[in-house]
Amino acid sequence: MPHAQIALVRCDDYEPPHVAGAVRRQLELLGGLGTFIERGDTVLLKPNFIAPRSHRHSAAQTHPAVILEVAKLVQDYGARPLVADSPAWANVAICARMLELTEPLRRLGVPLRQLNAPRKCRLGPNGPSVGLSSLALDADVIINLPKFKTHQQMVATFAVKNMFGCVSGKSKALWHFRKGNTADEMAGLLERLGLAAERGERLTVTVPTRRPDLEREIDLVEEVAILHGYNNLPMTLPGATTGAAVLTRDQKLERRVREIMRAAGLCERVSFSMMGERDLDSLGLAADAPERSALRLRDPVNADEDLMRTTMLPALLEAARENVRQRVQDVALFDLGRVFLPAARAQGEPSAGEQPETEAPVGLPEERRRLGALVMGQVVTSAWNLPAEVAQVDFYWLKGLVEQLCRSLGIGEVAFERAEHPTLHAGRSARLLVSGEQVGAFGEIAPEVRAAYDLRHAAYALELDLETLFRHAQLHARYQPVPRLPAVLRDLALVVPDDEQHTADALTAAVRQASGEELESVQVFDVYVDAGRLGAGNKQIALRLSFRHPDRTLTDDEVDGLMQAIAEELGRELGARVRDW
For the stretch 58-111, pLDDT in tens is: 333 456 777 777 778 777 767 777 777 655 445 677 777 777 788 888 888 888
Quick check: 287 and 352 in contact, CB under 8 A?
no
What number does CATH give the domain 249-472?
3.30.930.10
| Beta bridge mates, 36 | 45
**Helices vs strands, H then E, count in the chain:** 16, 24
Per DSSP, 302 falls in state: S
Percentage of the chain beyond pLDDT 90 is 36
Where do the H-state alpha helices sit in 381-527?
Answer: 388-391, 395-408, 447-452, 466-472, 504-514
| E strands in 263-306 | 267-268, 274-275
What are the structural domain ranges in the chain? 16-168, 173-232, 249-472, 488-578
With CA atoms as reference, report the closest residue to 252 among 358, 410, 399: 410
43 touches 158 (CB < 8 A): no
Q: 486 and 550 in contact (C-beta within 8 Å)?
A: no
- Residues 6 or more apart whose CB falls under 8 angstroms from that of 488 comprise 546, 547, 548, 554, 556, 559
Residues facing residue 275 across a β-bridge = 307
- Residue 444 φ/ψ region, left for φ over 0, alpha for ψ in the -120 to 50 degree band, beta for the rest: beta
Could you please state the CATH topology (level 3) that the domain comprising 173-232 is classified under: Phenylalanyl-tRNA Synthetase; Chain B, domain 1 (3.30.56)
CATH for the stretch 488-578: 3.30.70.380
Report the pLDDT value the prediction gives residue 133, as an integer from 0 to 100: 54
How far apart are the two ends of the chain, measured CA to CA in Å? Answer: 95
Tell me the mean pLDDT in the region 211-226. 80
Q: pLDDT by residue (tens digit) across 329-384? A: 999 999 999 999 987 554 444 444 444 444 444 568 899 999 999 999 988 878 88
Please state whether the predicted TM-score (pTM) of the whole model is above 0.95: no
pLDDT digits (tens, 9 = 90+) for 282-293: 999 999 899 999
